[in-house]
Amino acid sequence: MTPETIEAYGVRLRRTRPGDVPDLVAGCGDPETRRFLPALPDPYDADSARWWITEGEPAVWAAGGCAYAIAAPDTDRLLGGIGLTRLAPARGDFEIGYWVAPWARGRGVATAATRALGERAFAAGAARLELLTHRENEPSQRAALACGYRHEGVRRAASAARDGGRHDLVAWVRLADDPPGPTARLLPDLPGGRLGDGVVTLRRLAPADADALHRLHTLPEVVANRVPPVPPDRESIARRCRLAAGYWLAGDAADLAIVDAATGALVGGCALGYDEPTAGQATVGYSLLPEARGRGLATRAIRLLAGWAFDIGVARLWAGTRPENVASRRVLERAGFRREGLLRGRMPGADGARTDAVVYGRLASDRD
């Protein structure tokens, strides 16, 4: 459905050649490539590369799809691979997939190749392109957004893992009549990667935060505000830290570490969840480790988070806390939130009981 060679956006898409074998072996044997492409042969050797060139790639073309090497236009060196798999011929539905060699990463190669192949596919009659990414593959999700793909949902357990388990895949989709350019994000990156006031710093959660965050979320007073009020195991917290980037890019939640600017230590966490994007409403939550309490750090963190939220277009923020949690209520009040009412039995409590919540709200027009 597409030409033998495509040259656009600073990359060349061409058929794979015998001279590419060493680079195929190096690229497909790379741990990061193998992490997100578990179906690759193990080990990936020269025989694997030659099989792909002589049998695998031609079979993709014969089935109505296409498979290309991504190459540098100036040197013709292999930088990765990209292709289309026909999903539903009657609907013009294809899956697009790619990989980038370690020596070519961080240069926009995936974005350029995806744009080039996507444009040719639509010009040839494709109606819908679906791109599936591993939930921890942040660069691939950023490439999807840069190419105008929209987050459509999660394909549960859609990928087999090398250890015999299954992994979810995130679905990103672009239609032939979607507007040109990148997809606008509900939750852009923090300016410079962080927010700060000289006393506290907010940054995105990272995998290295798992131990501190697990300690925080297993404190009895923090567990009491969880839904349900059950302490999490460490793996669930580690997974939350690993997936923080993906949830952020999908526009679901901005999950942040609260860091003491003086020491660089994580002292708590806060989050913004876009619960009603069409109404411009988001919710905030926060908690601090005991050694950081009583210093106004939570108030500073929520002020920073609220200011950023309003800057990116959120119109209304709300937060809820248990009536007896006086400290949390004071944080919200000092951060400019106003009490709006009581929701009876809003949250599940211990032993099947229900817990009330005091609701606070702040509007963009309430800003100081």
pLDDT tens string 32-69: 999 999 999 989 999 999 999 999 999 999 999 999 99
What does the domain layout of the chain look like in residue ranges? 6-175, 191-366
State pLDDT tens for residues 339-349.
Answer: 999 999 888 87
Higher pLDDT pick, 162 / 47: 47
User: Domain spanning 6-175: which superfamily?
Assistant: Gcn5-related N-acetyltransferase (GNAT) (3.40.630.30)
What's the whole-number mean pLDDT along residues 155-163? 87
**What gap in Å lies between CA 249 and CA 327, rounded to an integer?**
32
Task: Report H helices in 171-233.
Answer: 210-217, 220-223
* Average pLDDT across the chain, whole number: 93
The reply to whether 191-366 shares the fold of 6-175 is: yes
State pLDDT tens for residues 78-90.
Answer: 999 999 998 887 7
Among 129-138, 220-229, 275-284, 298-307, whose mean pLDDT is lowest? Answer: 220-229
**Residue 253: left (phi > 0), alpha (psi -120 to 50), or beta?**
beta
The confidence score (pLDDT) of residue 367 equals 66
**What gap in Å lies between CA 257 and CA 301, rounded to an integer?**
10
224 pLDDT more than 60: yes
The confidence score (pLDDT) of residue 46 equals 97
Nearest to 284 by CA among 305, 260, 257: 305
CA distance between the termini of the chain: 58
Q: Which one-letter DSSP state was computed for residue 75? A: T
Within 13 A of 223's CA, how many CA atoms are on the CB side?
11
The domain defined by 191-366 folds into Aminopeptidase (3.40.630)
Q: How confident is the model at residue 270 (pLDDT cuts 50, 70, 90)?
A: very high
127 pLDDT more than 90: yes
1 pLDDT more than 60: no
User: Looking at the DSSP assignment, which residues form a beta bridge with residue 288?
Assistant: 268
State pLDDT tens for residues 290-319.
Answer: 999 999 999 999 999 999 999 999 999 999
Q: How many CB atoms lie within 10 A of CB 127?
A: 14
Cβ-contact 79, 100 below 8 angstroms: yes
The confidence score (pLDDT) of residue 152 equals 94
What's the whole-number mean pLDDT along residues 90-106? 94
| Ranges 2-16, 105-119, 228-242, most confident | 105-119
Q: How confident is the model at residue 70 (pLDDT cuts 50, 70, 90)?
A: very high
**What gap in Å lies between CA 130 and CA 87, rounded to an integer?**
9
Q: How confident is the model at residue 163 (pLDDT cuts 50, 70, 90)?
A: confident
